[in-house]
Structure 1
Amino acid sequence: MARANGTLFTLLGIVTCFILIGGIHGANILCLFTSISPSHLVIQMSMARILYDRGHNVTVVTTLKSPIPIDHTNINHIQVEISEEDKQMLSSLFGDMAKTDNSNVVLSMFRSFKKVSFIFNKVAGTLTDPLVRNLYENKDNNFDLVIVGYFMNSSPMAIAHKLKVPLIVQVCNPPSDITAGRMLGNPKELSYVSAQYASANEGEQTFGKRFANIFTSLGVNGFMFFVDKTNEQNYYKLVGDDASFPDYADLNKNISLVFFASHAPSEGPIRPNVPGVIEVGGIQVKDQPDPLPQNIKEFIGNATNGAILLSLGSNIKGSHIKADTMQIMFKVLSKLKQRIIWKWEDLDNTPGKSDNILYSKWVPQDDVLAHPNIKLFITHAGKGSITEAQYHGKPMLALPVFGDQPANAAVMVSQHFGLSLSLLTLEEQQFYDSLIEVLENPKYTQKVTKFSSLYRDRPLTARESVIYWTEYVIRHHGAKHLQSPVVHMNFIAANNLDIYALILVVLLISFYTTKISIIWLYGKCKTKTSKSAQQKVKVKRN
């Protein structure tokens, strides 16, 4: 009997260990993904799906329709839609950007500041939407964690403070000054880390590069100063005198960690990161691609000379691009022996008809890029698109438009994964020659295929990292021990400006005192010398 009881206790112990190792199941997680960019939402909803597949109870708030199918038995989706007027304003904004040279990210930021201000208002406005307000005011709602998708506005982070639960932030770019630096106290390292959306630190860090990077950092931080002032004003208008909401400046102090859509060991830049920087680049890439829609499956499958995917992302529409440019692209693509899958939103008004071109309003990009017949990806160079092409080992021809796209394209070219052209100055022969170069020169495919192997080689997959670190934060009730002390220090203390000021004052006082002393001693010596000389003169006279 005793032996049986001992065996039973041993089995119970083993089961308990497996439960503990398995992590926390059934936590209540609130995800606030209020970005107005569908490409951001692809990454964010991939994280939400992973967490509810794990067995957690997930509630997601978005302003857009989810681009990823949702199983409503495990996830509660609340959509706070923006108005048709705002959608038109947004479309107009992207259209204007498509007609402007945005290669200089700092100038582009300041140029578009007034136009994008309404985006910040909409993000902050979700706090007071009745459906969202019910989440944090209804006492029957019990959440264990809040995850916020960040897009240049910290206002949604206030809900984690209101609920008194840990906070995780998701960012769709690599760590940079305006994210990891501000949120986690990550060191800047401007001598070798780009301030323009952190990118690969390849090649010699010349004086010119470092000089330009310092001024880029000043420009980016200057832009964020104005953004923060706008967001802060909107935030206080919304929360009013509600003392249960924290000051806007304190919102970052509750962050446990940040999930970044990057992977520094393969992508770069190599830099020191605080423990709260968790990189999950490629989180939207599936372990196994889903079956393709039948028309796309047959179209690619029968492509004896291979196929090309053309997608300029979810924000840029065909109507945003000059008609002449569209005709140049159609004329060149229709002559190729490869088949083209062209993501196009208006099927009744296409650039032209050709047997080798299939237009589609929606393209499951990750699944298409996984197909072995895809030989080239013509892309706007958004971070998510670049990541998926790299993961699947597909060479690229980039046509960047705005935001981080020009920088992403430049890094891609420097790594010899493809070429980049400007949509504003696209010419027929130039477009054709670039396509042929990437298609027929094997070096691009070889380089990106080699990188794909490196990109996948990690101690934990992106999926496993999201699960482990999310449950880690819940287990440790916020994991405050991961935070850098810099997060809780003001600018002066964090940069030792008070100490440097004291040292400067001491040096100035020492210098002044020494100067006075020298002048006094010199005066004394001069007086003494003068008296001695006078005495000698008197002696001679006598």
Structure 2
Amino acid sequence: MFLKTIPVLAVFLLLQVSCGNSDRILAFFPAPVKSHLIIHTAITQALAELGHNITVVTTIPLTTKNPKYRHIQLDGCSIPKNFFNEKVNEGQPFYKQFVSITQVINNCSNVTLQHPKMRQLMAEEQFDLVIMGYFFNELQVGLAAHFKCPIVISFMVQPIRLINEFVGNPMEVSYVPNLLSGADQPMSFLDRLKNFMIVEVLEPVMLYWFANGPQKSLYEYNFPSDKYPSFDEVKKNVSLVLVNHHFSQGPIRPNVPGLIEIGGIQVKDKPDPLPEDIKSIMDNAKNGIIYFSFGSNIQGDILNKEKAKIMFDVLSKLPYTILWKWGKTDYPGQGPNVIYKTWLPQDDVLAHPNVKLFVTHGGQGSIVESLYHGVPMVGVPLFGEQHVNMVNVQKKEYGRHVEFVTMTEETFGNAVNDVLTNTKYRKSVQKFAKLYKDRPMTAKESVVFWVEYVLRHQGAAHLQSPAVHMNSFQLMSLDVIGFLALVGYLVFKLLKLFVCFIYSMCRRRNNMKNKKE
């Protein structure tokens, strides 16, 4: 009798497990940037493996499709073809880059919400949780209000001001260098002065004028006040922020419980098998491989031809096999040791023991994968935070960086040869790789636990810092300081009046005494 009940019990338990993980999750990743999508979809991959019912919405095709979740692609939002040309080849200042980037994102934020497929999804379906990829698209936090469910934010790098504000994470300007400051801990007086000016002056102006301000107007258009909470209120209801960062990368800083570090989420626990042609090339490279990639957004034909030729001339003379992700046309040259590919599985390539050097643009995702696999780098930063990323890489002796606009054959060649021949770079990066991997939970385990924690506790409001509901005056205790200053002033005035009164009484008494005498 007992044996007959075992199959029934097993089926019951399986059903319980399946039902326990059947939460409906909307993964909304609207930024038309492949490198961001790689990070965000790594989160959904981890959740899909456990049976969660996930709908992934993107504006560009998925690099790898997963049959375990539904994918909806929204057309009409893309980066202009010439968008990267001036940013890469002319060394455009960061503030100009930021303005043009936010203009593209502001337009994209509105277009995606107005897309017929998105309108249908919002009208006909319901979700238990929204996971939103963040890239200056605050208005889309309104999706959580629409579906009346918690929201989790996914971010690609260490937290910036607007990310910190979602969960009340402290800024700690005096000892936590801003992402764009280029400073390292401990900061000197000049570093702290520069950091203060960036965090308290430059950043608020740029973020609120070009990003947050337009987003607020678009929020009020897409989520009218007669049906939804205000823009300021809806941003206070973020349950969790997941950042693709780890404290071992620095800087050291305090984080509230609602901010979870998942650095390296896109790195596979075990590399996938390489395509046969790539595997054969890498296995048979006698002196090793130099892997060259400027990320998912930069194709070779975008690069200045003179600078591309410089890099080719240096690399083609080396006794290494050059595996170069370039594109389909306009190769900078042909050499027996140079192999061009339109696409390469970067994480799997870097995991191969024959890789001696990674020539990279310095995107955070690429740096993380290189560090994880212990491969030293030569960085040629092109735009955004890549310059600061590579400055930090060089400071920590994980590699060297060369500025693209001013690059010569000599500067690029010296950097490549130095990293290839000086063992300090490989030793430093492999030492860091051990630190980076030494954690109580893997990045994927952290994602699964904390996302399911939010689901189990209906948004986990107890994780939220009180700082979310405080204004700047309250956070800096300026109201308390002002009150104490006022009280001190009043006490001082009362004491002054009292002393003057005593003095006048004594003087009057002396005058009366003198008159009597």
Give TM-score, length-normalised by structure 1.
Answer: 0.87
1:279 maps onto 2:265 in alignment: no
Aligned runs of 1:181-260 on 2, under 5 Å?
181-196=164-179, 201-202=184-185, 204-218=186-200, 219-226=202-209, 227-240=211-224, 243-260=226-243
From 251, 260, 264, the equivalent of 1:269 is 251
From 87, 111, 114, the equivalent of 1:125 is 111
Taking the aligned partners of 2:451 and 2:376, their CA distance within structure 1 comes to: 34
Q: Secondary structure at the match of 1:367?
A: helix
1:113 maps onto 2:99 in alignment: yes
From 32, 35, 39, the equivalent of 2:35 is 39
Partner of 1:78: 72
1:99 maps onto 2:89 in alignment: yes
Structure 1 residues 200 and 175 mapped into 2: Cα distance closer, same or farther (>3 Å)?
farther
CA contact (8 A) 2:105 2:135 kept: no
1:330 maps onto 2:312 in alignment: yes
- Give the superposition deviation at 1:362: 1.0
Which stretch shifts more, 512-521 or 245-254? Answer: 512-521
* Residue-by-residue CA offset, 1:341-389 (whole Å, 9 max, x unaligned): 11112x3311111111111111111111111111000111111000000
CA contact (8 A) 2:243 2:261 kept: yes
Aligned runs of 1:520-539 on 2, under 5 Å?
none
- Give the superposition deviation at 1:496: 2.8
Aligned runs of 1:383-462 on 2, under 5 Å?
383-462=364-443
CA contact (8 A) 1:175 1:198 kept: no
CA contact (8 A) 2:87 2:97 kept: no
From 5, 25, 30, the equivalent of 2:26 is 30
Aligned runs of 1:501-540 on 2, under 5 Å?
501-518=482-499
* Residue-by-residue CA offset, 1:484-532 (whole Å, 9 max, x unaligned): 1111233333333322221122223233444455556666667777888
Q: Which runs of 5+ in 2 are unaligned?
A: none
Partner of 2:121: 135
User: What amino acid maps onto 1:191 in structure 2?
Assistant: S
Aligned runs of 1:279-428 on 2, under 5 Å?
279-345=261-327, 347-428=328-409
Structure 1 residues 50 and 368 mapped into 2: Cα distance closer, same or farther (>3 Å)?
same
- Give the superposition deviation at 1:147: 0.3
CA contact (8 A) 1:184 1:257 kept: yes
Structure 1 residues 194 and 475 mapped into 2: Cα distance closer, same or farther (>3 Å)?
same
| Aligned residue pairs, count | 514
- Give the superposition deviation at 1:293: 2.6
- Give the superposition deviation at 1:176: 3.0
- Give the superposition deviation at 1:51: 1.5
CA contact (8 A) 2:181 2:388 kept: no
Taking the aligned partners of 1:501 and 1:386, their CA distance within structure 2 comes to: 46
Q: Which runs of 5+ in 1 are unaligned?
A: none
Q: Secondary structure at the match of 1:54?
A: coil
- Give the superposition deviation at 1:466: 1.2
CA contact (8 A) 2:182 2:391 kept: no
CA contact (8 A) 1:260 1:279 kept: yes
* Residue-by-residue CA offset, 1:391-416 (whole Å, 9 max, x unaligned): 10000011112222122112211211
Taking the aligned partners of 1:432 and 1:186, their CA distance within structure 2 comes to: 43
- Give the superposition deviation at 1:122: 0.8
Partner of 2:455: 474
Taking the aligned partners of 2:169 and 2:107, their CA distance within structure 1 comes to: 28
Structure 1 residues 519 and 96 mapped into 2: Cα distance closer, same or farther (>3 Å)?
farther
Taking the aligned partners of 2:259 and 2:182, their CA distance within structure 1 comes to: 16
Q: Secondary structure at the match of 2:389?
A: helix
- Give the superposition deviation at 1:99: 3.3
User: What amino acid maps onto 2:73 in structure 1?
Assistant: Q
Greater radius of gyration (CA): 1
* Residue-by-residue CA offset, 1:240-297 (whole Å, 9 max, x unaligned): 45x3322111222221111110111x21222211111111111111122222233322
- Give the superposition deviation at 1:229: 0.8
- Give the superposition deviation at 1:420: 0.9
From 152, 165, 178, the equivalent of 1:168 is 152
Give TM-score, length-normalised by structure 2.
Answer: 0.91
- Give the superposition deviation at 1:323: 2.0
CA contact (8 A) 2:105 2:137 kept: no
CA contact (8 A) 1:154 1:251 kept: no
- Give the superposition deviation at 1:40: 0.4
- Give the superposition deviation at 1:310: 1.1
User: What amino acid maps onto 2:262 in structure 1?
Assistant: V
Taking the aligned partners of 2:291 and 2:430, their CA distance within structure 1 comes to: 17
Partner of 1:147: 131
* Residue-by-residue CA offset, 1:207-226 (whole Å, 9 max, x unaligned): 22212111111211221121
